[in-house]
Amino acid sequence: MGHWRRMVVGRAALVLVLQGLSLFAPCGASFAGDAAAHGDSTIVAQAEAAKIFHGVGKVVNVDAASGFVTIDHEDIPGLMDAMEMQFQAMPAKILEEVKVGDKIALALDGKNWTILEIQKLTAAK
């Protein structure tokens, strides 16, 4: 088979494969729902982990330079029970205005438990 003929056949095969894959694209939006219906907890857990969760708590310790903060937080619905825990903040500069004793609201990446946003609700006394 000549060089040009192999290229044409190769491209035609690629087009057919891509067209075949596109048939499944409409189903993609419901993979997590389908997985839940069929009991595949791994896929459901991965879909849940991609969410942003919100919670409130009190700052116990803060190291703005390294980007870590320890928070005594209430339940974070859908993610974890109330506890005292250290979190990393991304970017670290969002911790610059936070002090020990502040009551805060936070937005947390459910996949890696990184704080994405933090808002001071009540300043430390």
The model's pTM is: 0.61
Start and end residues for every CATH 2.40.50.320 domain found in the chain:
52-122
- CA of residue 123 relative to chain centroid, distance: 28
What ranges in 23-106 are assigned the alpha helix state H?
Answer: 31-38, 41-49
Three-state DSSP class for 57? strand
Q: What is the mean pLDDT of the chain?
A: 76
- The confidence score (pLDDT) of residue 1 equals 53
Residue 101: pLDDT above 50? yes
pLDDT tens, position by position, 39-93: 555 655 555 556 999 999 999 999 999 999 999 999 999 999 999 999 999 999 9
- The confidence score (pLDDT) of residue 29 equals 40
d(CA 48, CA 24): 22
CA separation, residue 29 to residues 24, 25, 26, 33 (Å): 10, 8, 7, 9
- The confidence score (pLDDT) of residue 124 equals 86
Domain 52-122, CATH homologous superfamily name and number: Copper binding periplasmic protein CusF (2.40.50.320)
